């Protein structure tokens, strides 16, 4: 969104720069053309004045007759030359051409002859300009060197005394070539400027895009950190609530039930002793049934309380809690045998780590007994100097990991286990075959999970194969 307006702005700048550059190039072209023409006009005027002064000196000479002086002047003007194609022309007072093109020093000269159809218009322009006082005249004529029709700028003056018209001209095709080079140079400059603008635009958009990506990554990292802290708070609140409910059950409901059991047992002892059970009164039988059900309720409440938050986890640590978990699963009446073994010397671990590993073991054992139809489950807790690893291995029927994880209605327990471990910057992996399922969870102990650290990528792969 930020790159689009910047790109539009730079494109508008490029169009504006092109327009302004073309305007400046046109102004420069006009200035160059005016200056060039002014220099040509000055040059032509000097040439024509030089030729007229030459004719006047010859006319003022007293050494020959007037006809001889006229012939001499025509001969000298015919031989005068400047530049590659510069020559002079002469007309008398009747408008007749006096110079002979064949005798001129420039080859292929074609003069504006009033008597030829191709030169009548040009000759009339020259004569009219001279009779009006002289000056510049523009027309098109054949260039001697190339025989191409080219624009020509002429300058004519009238010679006093003989009333001749003398003049010369310059072809303006070199001016057009110079202006064409100026236009080409301007176009090249415009193209180079546009390329630089487009390059700057591309760099700006790439920079903006990179900045946007970095900003999004930063926002994502901050959001992930916030979500991780929120998840940890939810888990912590959940564990605290479970501990509170377990305490309330143990300290409140269980104590009341125990007290009721004591009262019922006292009442049972106060009943008259009957040797034959069949002859016992109905109240005695109801009392016996009530005591039995009350005892079952106490056992169930203690089981639920321990499942919510085992006291051994807080008092004696994770190994003791896992040992009790395996014993309870074996005593629950299921056909599954749950064993626990510890590798390495146990050392203190954070409470958050112990709770997460216990919940993973609890969920894994429950899944093995309920869904995998496993006959044996092994819980292994391995202590290392910088980490603690939990391995839960069963010999059940396995399952399709990819299918369970991609199904939105299944795999909630697996996702919860993964999120618990990864929230503490641990590694979680699971593998499943027809011979059983293995779960591996590793938590680092050198530093607790940092709220601002990025979560590691979850891994559900076959890195841990069942034994």
| Contacts (Cβ under 8 Å, ≥6 apart) of 316 | none
Helix (H, G, I), strand (E, B) or coil at 453: coil
Topology of the domain covering 3-171: Beta-Lactamase (3.30.450)
Of the candidate ranges 36-45, 257-266, 269-278, 441-450, the one whose mean pLDDT is the lowest: 269-278
How far apart CA 114 and CA 351 sit, in angstroms, is 120
Per mean pLDDT, which of 36-45, 235-244, 397-406 is the most reliable?
A: 36-45
455 has a pLDDT exceeding 90: no
| Contacts (Cβ under 8 Å, ≥6 apart) of 339 | 326, 376, 377, 378, 379
Half-sphere exposure of 398 (CA within 13 A, CB side): 15
What is residue 9's DSSP assignment?
A: H
E strand or H helix at 96, and its extent? none
Query: Which residue, 115, 165, 162, is CA-closest to 137?
Result: 165
pLDDT tens-digit series, residues 23-79? 887 888 788 888 888 888 898 999 999 999 999 888 888 878 888 888 899 889 888
How far apart CA 296 and CA 301 sit, in angstroms, is 9
pLDDT score of 15: 81
Domain with CATH 3.30.565.10 in the chain: 315-467
Confidence of residue 167 (pLDDT cuts 50, 70, 90): very high
DSSP code string of 301-356: HHHHHHHH--HHHHHT-HHHHHHHHHHHHHHTT-S-EEEEEEES------HHHHHH
Report pTM: 0.44
pLDDT tens-digit series, residues 287-343? 777 777 777 777 777 667 666 666 667 778 889 888 888 888 877 666 788 999 999
What is residue 108's DSSP assignment?
A: T
Query: Which residue, 171, 129, 182, is CA-closest to 44?
Result: 171
Beta strands in 44-148 (DSSP E): 88-91, 135-142
pLDDT tens-digit series, residues 415-440? 888 888 888 889 999 998 888 999 99
Nearest-Å Rg of the Cα atoms of the chain is 57
Confidence of residue 174 (pLDDT cuts 50, 70, 90): confident
Query: Which residue, 40, 37, 19, 41, is CA-closest to 29?
Result: 37
Spell out the long-range contacts of 460-464 with Cβ–Cβ below 8 A and sequence spacing 24 or more: 460/401, 460/405, 460/414, 460/418, 460/428, 460/429, 460/430, 461/429, 461/431, 462/431, 463/429, 463/431, 464/391, 464/429, 464/430, 464/431, 464/438, 464/439, 464/440
pLDDT score of 444: 92
Confidence of residue 408 (pLDDT cuts 50, 70, 90): low
Q: How far apart are the first and last CA of the chain?
A: 55
Identify the residue with better confidence: 2 or 133: 133
How far apart CA 383 and CA 341 sit, in angstroms, is 11
Is the CB of residue 156 less than 8 Å from the CB of residue 166? yes
Domain with CATH 3.30.450.20 in the chain: 3-171
CATH architecture for residues 315-467: 2-Layer Sandwich (3.30)
How far apart CA 301 and CA 289 sit, in angstroms, is 18
Identify the residue with better confidence: 272 or 389: 389
Query: Which residue, 170, 172, 225, 253, is CA-closest to 455?
Result: 225
Give me 212's structure tokens.
């946007």
Greatest alpha-carbon pair distance for the chain in Å reads 188
Query: Which residue, 404, 331, 325, is CA-closest to 363?
Result: 325
How far apart CA 280 and CA 288 sit, in angstroms, is 11
C-alpha distances in Å from residue 420, one per residue of 242, 407, 440: 16, 20, 13
Helix axes 173-248 and 351-370, enclosed angle (nearest 10):
80
C-alpha distances in Å from residue 79, one per residue of 75, 82, 227, 405: 6, 10, 102, 106
Query: How many CB atoms neighbour CB 228 within 10 A?
Result: 22
Is the CB of residue 166 less than 8 Å from the CB of residue 159? yes
Torsion, CA 450, CA 456, CA 462, CA 464, rounded to 10: -20
Query: How many CB atoms neighbour CB 457 within 10 A?
Result: 7
């Amino acid at each position: 969104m930020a790159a689009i307006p910047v790109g539009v702005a730079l494109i508008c700048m490029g169009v504006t720069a092109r327009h302004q550059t073309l305007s400046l190039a046109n102004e420069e072209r006009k200035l160059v053309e005016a200056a060039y023409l002014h220099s040509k006009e000055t040059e032509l005027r000097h040439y024509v004045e030089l030729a007229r002064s030459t004719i006047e000196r010859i006319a003022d000479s007293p050494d020959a007759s007037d006809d001889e002086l006229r012939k001499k002047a025509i001969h000298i003007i015919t031989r005068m030359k400047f530049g590659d194609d510069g020559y002079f022309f002469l007309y008398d007072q009747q408008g007749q051409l006096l110079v002979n093109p064949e005798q001129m020093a420039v080859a292929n000269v074609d003069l504006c002859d009033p008597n030829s159809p191709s030169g009548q218009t040009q000759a009339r322009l020259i004569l009219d300009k001279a009779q009006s006082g002289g000056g510049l005249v523009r027309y098109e004529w054949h260039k001697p060197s190339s025989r191409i029709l080219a624009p020509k700028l002429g300058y004519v003056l009238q010679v006093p005394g003989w009333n001749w018209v003398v003049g010369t001209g310059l072809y303006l095709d070199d001016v057009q070539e110079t202006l064409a080079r100026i236009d080409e140079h301007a176009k090249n400059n415009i193209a180079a400027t546009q390329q630089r603008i487009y390059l700057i635009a591309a760099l700006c958009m790439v920079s903006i895009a990179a900045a946007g990506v970095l900003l999004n990554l930063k926002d994502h990292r901050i959001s992930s950190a916030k979500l991780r802290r929120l998840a940890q708070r939810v888990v912590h609140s959940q564990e605290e609530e479970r501990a509170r409910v377990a305490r309330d059950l143990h300290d409140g409901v269980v104590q009341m039930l125990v007290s009721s059991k004591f009262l019922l047992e006292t009442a049972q002892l106060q009943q008259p002793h009957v040797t034959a059970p069949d002859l016992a009164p109905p109240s005695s039988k109801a009392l016996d049934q009530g005591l039995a059900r009350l005892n079952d309720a106490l056992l169930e409440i203690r089981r639920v309380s321990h499942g919510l938050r085992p006291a051994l986890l807080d008092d004696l640590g994770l190994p003791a809690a896992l040992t009790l978990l395996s014993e309870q699963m074996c005593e629950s009446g299921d056909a599954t045998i749950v064993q626990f073994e510890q590798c390495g010397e146990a050392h203190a671990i954070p409470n958050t780590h112990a709770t997460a590993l216990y919940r993973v073991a609890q969920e894994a054992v429950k899944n093995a007994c309920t869904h995998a139809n496993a006959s044996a489950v092994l819980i292994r807790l391995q202590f290392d100097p910088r980490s603690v690893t939990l391995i839960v291995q069963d010999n059940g029927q396995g399952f399709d990991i990819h299918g369970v994880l991609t199904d939105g209605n299944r795999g909630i327990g697996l996702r919860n286990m993964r999120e618990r471990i990864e929230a503490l910057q641990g590694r979680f992996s699971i593998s499943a075959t027809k011979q059983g399922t293995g779960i591996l969870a590793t938590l680092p102990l050198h530093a607790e999970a940092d709220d601002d650290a990025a979560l590691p990528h979850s891994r559900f792969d076959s890195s841990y194969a069942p034994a």
